[in-house]
Amino acid sequence: MPIVVNLDVMMAKRKISLNELSEKVDITLSNLSILKTGKAKAIRFSTLEAICNVLDCQPGDILEYVADNR
């Protein structure tokens, strides 16, 4: 998939655990884990906004488009 999720990178930069982010964003640990591993098919703007607020970042810091060279 050409959309890469860099949530783990931002979490490492901010030194925040998956459990802590889950609590602060009010999203289940399993759903956050699916997003973190890049297995999510969609993300709500409200969830993305909450993650960006907690991590003090921009959506582009979390989501990246990588062209599929087929």
Which pLDDT score, from 0 to 100, does residue 21 have?
97
Confirm if 18 and 29 have CB atoms less than 8 A apart: yes
DSSP 8-state symbol, 15: T
Over residues 27-36, the pLDDT tens digits come to 999 999 999 9
Which pLDDT score, from 0 to 100, does residue 70 have?
62
Q: Indicate whether 20 belongs to any domain.
A: yes
Over residues 39-49, the pLDDT tens digits come to 999 999 999 99
Tell me the mean pLDDT per 10 residues along the chain, length 70. Answer: 90 96 95 93 95 97 86
Q: Indicate whether 25 belongs to any domain.
A: yes
Which pLDDT score, from 0 to 100, does residue 67 have?
87
Domains in the chain: how many in total? Answer: 1
Q: Indicate whether 70 belongs to any domain.
A: no
Tell me the CATH number at 21: 1.10.260.40
Strands 63-65 and 3-5: antiparallel
- What is the span of the domain harbouring residue 32? 3-65
Q: Indicate whether 52 belongs to any domain.
A: yes
- In three-state form (DSSP H/G/I as H, E/B as E, the rest C), the secondary structure along the chain is CCEEECHHHHHHHHCCCHHHHHHHHCCCHHHHHHHHCCCCCCCCHHHHHHHHHHHCCCHHHHEEECCCCC
